[in-house]
Structure 1
Amino acid sequence: MRDPLVRWLGTQRFTSLYSLAAAVALGWLAYAYSRAPFVPVWTPPAGMAWLTILVNVLACLLVAIGATTPGPTSVGSERRALSPEDPAPGIYRVTRHPVMWGVALWALAHLLVNGDGASMMLFGGLIVLALGGMAHIDQKRARLLGAAWGPVQLTTSAIPFRALLSGRTRMDWAGIGIWRPLGGVALFLALTAAHPWLAGVTALPQ
């Protein structure tokens, strides 16, 4: 269904409409979550809030760095995989799906401190969506790029650090730079400051 729509609307228009639909769906999920009754399922262990902070920092770093680095799996940069110089720069040496991993970790962080049914469905669903999205993106890139996708798969990994630990690539600190991690820290601080307004509770340990 996607390919006929892309041919009919054009890539840019399809991407814009798809992003709008995704934003509306997420907004509806957030509204439904805020209205859902509290049904306790399990009690998070004491001290879990500090682990949540750490996981959230990692999530924000991955999202900020990944979203600002053109790579073979980022939206609009599909042809980056054809680059003879560096098809997977910066954070893509760690994982070729940095933003998806950021979303998954963000959802996991919220599961660690929320043991009610609505939270488990919302954040658990986001984890499944993010992990499944990685496989779906890989399939789309393989179909779009054909043989050019092979070298990207060989020099990157969906699982973080797997390609680095196996010696298939080297860390590209220059491709990450300084301002991207600082942007991730700024994103974390902004979300933490806005958390009482967005969720009605502080994100900091009490």
Structure 2
Amino acid sequence: MLALILGLVLFLGIHSTRLFAADWRVAQIDRRGLLAWKGFYAVISLVGLLLIIWGYGQARLSPTWLWLSPMWTRHLAALLTVPAFILLAATYIPGTHIKARVGHPMLLGVKFWAIAHLIANGTLADLLLFGGFLAWAVALYVVLRRRDRLAGVSYPAVGFSRDLIAIVVGLVAWVVFAMWLHGALIGVRPFGG
């Protein structure tokens, strides 16, 4: 469990420096250079991610159950991850109305993903992993939206065709992940089998 917690602290912490430790980040870039900062950021992110994966995998071997979710929550979780994938796609497709409306679709997608998994999973490791990502995404979303409003930042929409592309890409990615990759990578098949 310690590896999972340490991984979350490293991964979510380094992904929060621009917002919650901006002066320290700037000082590091000034002292070491942008390329060195990006290297440091990448290494800490990777170490954090690997610790999360390893720690969560270890915790699943002897789970501490906090609650037992009914079987139907797995179907609800699968349904809630559909908008998560669409929002993720909208993050990388410029000019969508989705991004124009929500500002930071990836963070909203992380919220959908985390809530879906909290509904369907009831171990302490699940609460730490998905609850940690949910808390991080909520806090970051609030800070970024406030910063955007204060700076007058907007994300212009080009046309509905971009939204259609984001929806199709998100749905295809969801199908591929739900039907094949989730089982292969995570060891759990959302639709049985």
Give the TM-score range, shorter chain.
0.7 to 0.9
1:186 aligns with 2:167: no
Q: Which residue of 2 aligns with 1:73?
A: none
* Bigger helix share: 2
Q: Which amino acid aligns with 2:30?
A: R
Distance of aligned partners of 1:115 and 1:21 in 2 relative to their CA distance in 1, 3 Å threshold = same
- Measured after TM superposition, the shift of residue 141 of structure 1 is 5.8
1:88-107 equivalences under 5 Å are 90-107=97-114
Cα separation, 1, equivalents of 2:175 and 2:89: 13
Distance of aligned partners of 1:9 and 1:135 in 2 relative to their CA distance in 1, 3 Å threshold = farther
Q: Which amino acid aligns with 2:113?
A: W
- Measured after TM superposition, the shift of residue 12 of structure 1 is 6.0
Cα separation, 2, equivalents of 1:14 and 1:6: 6
Contact 1:43/1:115 (<8 A) preserved: yes
Structure 2: gaps spanning 5 or more residues: 1-23
Contact 1:69/1:91 (<8 A) preserved: no
Give the % identical residues.
23
RMSD (Å) for aligned C-alpha atoms: 2.8
TM-score (norm 1): 0.69
Once the two structures are superposed, what CA deviation does each residue of 1:169-193 show, in whole Å capped at 9, x if it has no partner? 9x86537343222211122123211
Contact 2:90/2:163 (<8 A) preserved: no
How many residues are aligned here? Answer: 167
Structure 1: gaps spanning 5 or more residues: 71-88, 157-168
Q: Which residue of 1 aligns with 2:57?
A: 34
Distance of aligned partners of 1:32 and 1:190 in 2 relative to their CA distance in 1, 3 Å threshold = same
Distance of aligned partners of 1:19 and 1:33 in 2 relative to their CA distance in 1, 3 Å threshold = same
Contact 1:91/1:176 (<8 A) preserved: no
